[in-house]
Structure 1
Amino acid sequence: MEFCPDCGKVLIPKHNILHCYGCGYEKMIAEENKNDYVIEEDVSDKQNIIITGDKVNTMPTTNGLCYRCHNRELEWWMVQTRKSDEATTIFYRCTKCGNTWRR
């Protein structure tokens, strides 16, 4: 595995060339080193990629009431905002309008 000397990303072998998809750097693979790389002709098959929207809910949800839009589904999470011997702070975010508050 080789890394780009310009940006540090991994160089991907394609058509006997090591290509950086970060900055466009290219380096020819030497004839004696061709067996070190698995070269695939087409790595851009995007037919099996599932694209979802940006609004993917990965937070736990609970029933509650948003005081702005009156939605009943809320995301929640806890954060230790003060010293470790004090209680955690619970944050809520409305799944409809994005309004966020703490308890």
Structure 2
Amino acid sequence: MEFCPKCKSMMVPVKGVSKCRNSKCGYVKEKETDQESLMSKAARSEREVTVLEGNIDQGLPTTSVRCDECGHNVAYWWLRQLRSADESETRFFKCTKCGLTWREYD
């Protein structure tokens, strides 16, 4: 879905161009050429996810939970949506002493 840059109304496709639905505005956008379309798709596919290494735990909240590996009572925690959206998130823990990572099972 595309919106008019002038009046923010919705644009509708008409005979190879996009026209603003607002008749008072009259903005018309020509259809992108195949080359422009390919370039925008390439730009989207080049987006990379930055993986943090090192002290990524800094800034995570901590909680009081016992580590089965070393017996320490403080761990970092975070939530991840692993299953479908209608199911609850999974809570992960990482021991601040030994680095053991585990998940909480309901």
TM-score by length of 1: 0.46
